[in-house]
Amino acid sequence: MINVWRLTKLQLLSSFGLNQALHTKDPAQRRKALLISLLVITGILMIGAVSFGYSFMMAQSFEQLGRMDLLLAVMMAVTSLIGFFTTVYKASGVLFSYKDYDMIMSLPVKTSHVVASRVLQLYVMNLFFTLLIMLPAGAVYAIHVKPGVLFYLFFLLTLFFITLLPIIAATLVGTLISWVSSRFRASKILNMILTFAFIIVLMLGSFTLNQGQQAIADVGAALGDMIFKVYPPASVYVDAVCSYRVSALLFFIAVSVLAFMLFSVLLATRYKAIHTGLMTSRASRAYKMKPLQANSAFKALYLKELRRYFSSVNYVLNTGIGMVLLLMMSISLLFVSSEQLGTILDIPQLSDSLSTLSPLVISLFVVLSCTTACSISLEGNHLWILTSSPVPKPAIVFSKVAVNLTITLPITAVSWGLLAYTLHAGWMESILMLAVPVIYACYSALLGVMVNLKLPKLDWTSEVAAIKQSASVLVTMVIGVLTLAVPAVLFMLLPGVGGNLILLGFGILMAAVCTGMYRYIQTSGERLFAKL
């Protein structure tokens, strides 16, 4: 097990940039690491406060039902679902798509140890969300129930095993998708299609389950039976933590550990074959000499960036899922009226304000689909090719922005047409429903590439480190969500002012910000690239 621990430690230090932050002598790098740390801590505190408030509100209802154990059961099931959902499309990248595969596999360690270390890396990533959800829920439970000392001991012990089973299940699904797709020529495209299809089916099933939850939400016993039936480990967890049953505690831990060991050993038998199938490129047809075509520098850079985008399964899955969800939501509203949606979400006034809020909802999906926040980082050790190319550096930046707009704008336009029809929006609401998301698409694309130029991560070994774990992605997402929160807060603070007027004014302001960022890149593009 010492080899597993050493490999996991090295991978985590490399993925999160901790090694460089701890040992760098550059004052600028130290200041940057301190700024990022403060931002991360602030985000953790904010998410923790929201999680505590949500658990506290749920606890009031469960206390009236006399079933406080359901609080931990529900939050444990939610944590497991989040871990499963986020791991399905990360598994392939962490397990197979990393640059130092040859070096790692040449080490005198077993293949099962390598697999175990990669799964543990996924586990540590998801442990962060487990702590953010379960610690506030445990605190709320302790405040209401005032349990004995064994609760705190059992609760802390099980905390580190909650997401292990969901992660193994998600990794198994991701590995199966990767293995099936590796048997075909267009393995990467098939991998993307299968993963997207699985996520869509999973979300549709969750939506159906949510409707069932609403129907029995007032019956504590029925709700508990449903949770324990859908996810049996929740029953064992509640028996161990709330009823202090040692046998349930040992069973829960043993099943989690044994499943982890068994999965590592079984995957090791096909690990090299799956990696070879995914990394091998095949010629789709016989090569024929054709006349060469000349393009402008910008078009050539755009086509290169577009090919780079669709050549990475992780890149597409992590940045494209937002637009897929937006399209799914728009299509689903063709079959679910706004009144029914308000009933399902327990927001009776939703139908009255949905047309006004829809521009911000669409913009949220657009902001979450930013491809430029990691586009510079993904150049990695090939960045010198771009920096030494005889092309204007602003053209390189704008080619990456153009790819982002290519991904977001077509789906935004289709979703706008569907939502304008289903919500029966007026002419002003329809214009804002299209204009505001388009402005935010430009804003997030320009913001992402500017932040990535300031906070590049070029020393990655796995694409997942640049796509999901880099500082530029985190900063871009936080800033984008905060700018969306401003008009939402204005809606609440200024109820006498029309929502359309607020959106119009804020849209003009954001358009001016986009113009300023565009001019800044034009004038400072060469200087920004010179600092890389």
- Is residue 227 pLDDT above 80, yes or no? no
Mean pLDDT score, 345-351 = 51
Mean pLDDT score, 309-322 = 83
Who wins on pLDDT, 280 or 258?
258
Q: Report the C-alpha gap between 353 and 451 in whole angstroms.
A: 34
Distances (CA, A) of 273 to 154, 283, 314: 41, 19, 20
| DSSP secondary structure letters along 301-321 | HHHHHHHHHHT-HHHHHHHHH
472 CB burial (10 A radius; 0-12, 13-18, 19+): buried
Residue found under tokens 């202090």 = 244
Who wins on pLDDT, 502 or 184?
502
Q: Report the C-alpha gap between 477 and 443 in whole angstroms.
A: 12
28 CB burial (10 A radius; 0-12, 13-18, 19+): exposed
Three-state DSSP at 98 gives strand
Three-state DSSP at 73 gives helix
Residue 343 pLDDT level (bands cut at 50, 70, 90): low
Q: What pLDDT score was predicted for residue 373?
A: 92
- Is residue 17 pLDDT above 70, yes or no? no
pLDDT above 90 covers a percentage of the chain that reads: 14
Decide: 86 and 126 in contact? Cβ < 8 Å: yes
Who wins on pLDDT, 216 or 129?
129
Q: Per mean pLDDT, which range of 204-208, 230-234, 511-515 is the poorest? A: 204-208
- Is residue 281 pLDDT above 60, yes or no? no
Q: What pLDDT score was predicted for residue 213?
A: 40
- Is residue 212 pLDDT above 50, yes or no? no
| DSSP secondary structure letters along 453-483 | HHS-----SBHHHHHTSSHHHHHHHHHHHHH
φ, ψ (nearest 5 deg) of residue 528: -65, -40
Who wins on pLDDT, 132 or 282?
132
* Helix-helix angle 233-241:220-230, to 10 degrees: 120
Backbone φ/ψ region at 288: left (φ over 0), alpha (ψ -120 to 50), beta: beta
- Is residue 216 pLDDT above 50, yes or no? no
Distances (CA, A) of 465 to 111, 258, 462: 22, 28, 6
Q: What pLDDT score was predicted for residue 287?
A: 62
Three-state DSSP at 327 gives helix
pLDDT digits (tens, 9 = 90+) for 428-469: 888 989 999 999 999 999 999 999 998 888 877 777 778 877
Considering the chain, what is the average pLDDT of its residues?
79
In angstroms, how far is CA 2 from the centroid of its own chain?
Answer: 31
Decide: 123 and 167 in contact? Cβ < 8 Å: yes
Residue 224 pLDDT level (bands cut at 50, 70, 90): low
pLDDT digits (tens, 9 = 90+) for 458-468: 877 777 778 87
pLDDT digits (tens, 9 = 90+) for 79-113: 888 788 777 767 776 777 667 777 888 888 888 88
Q: What pLDDT score was predicted for residue 214?
A: 43
pLDDT digits (tens, 9 = 90+) for 112-156: 888 888 888 888 878 888 888 889 989 998 888 888 888 899 999
Q: What pLDDT score was predicted for residue 22?
A: 62
pLDDT digits (tens, 9 = 90+) for 384-407: 888 888 888 889 999 999 999 999
Residue 280 pLDDT level (bands cut at 50, 70, 90): low
Question: Which amino acid makes up residue 351?
Answer: S
Q: Per mean pLDDT, which range of 98-107, 147-156, 200-209, 232-241 is the poorest? A: 200-209
Decide: 166 and 83 in contact? Cβ < 8 Å: yes
List the chain domain ranges. Answer: 44-279, 297-530
Q: What is the DSSP letter of 373?
A: G
Q: What pLDDT score was predicted for residue 355?
A: 67
Q: What pLDDT score was predicted for residue 196?
A: 62
| DSSP secondary structure letters along 257-293 | HHHHHHHHHHHHHHHHHHHHHHH----SS--------
Pick from 333, 385, 365, 529: nearest CA to 438 = 365
Mean pLDDT score, 480-488 = 87
Mean pLDDT score, 29-41 = 71
Distances (CA, A) of 101 to 118, 163, 277, 308, 328: 11, 26, 14, 21, 37
> In angstroms, how far apart are the furthest CA atoms of the chain?
79
- Is residue 217 pLDDT above 50, yes or no? no
Q: Per mean pLDDT, which range of 166-180, 217-231, 312-326, 474-488 is the poorest? A: 217-231
Who wins on pLDDT, 473 or 226?
473
Residue 195 pLDDT level (bands cut at 50, 70, 90): low
Sign of CA dihedral 163, 164, 166, 172: positive
pLDDT above 70 covers a percentage of the chain that reads: 79
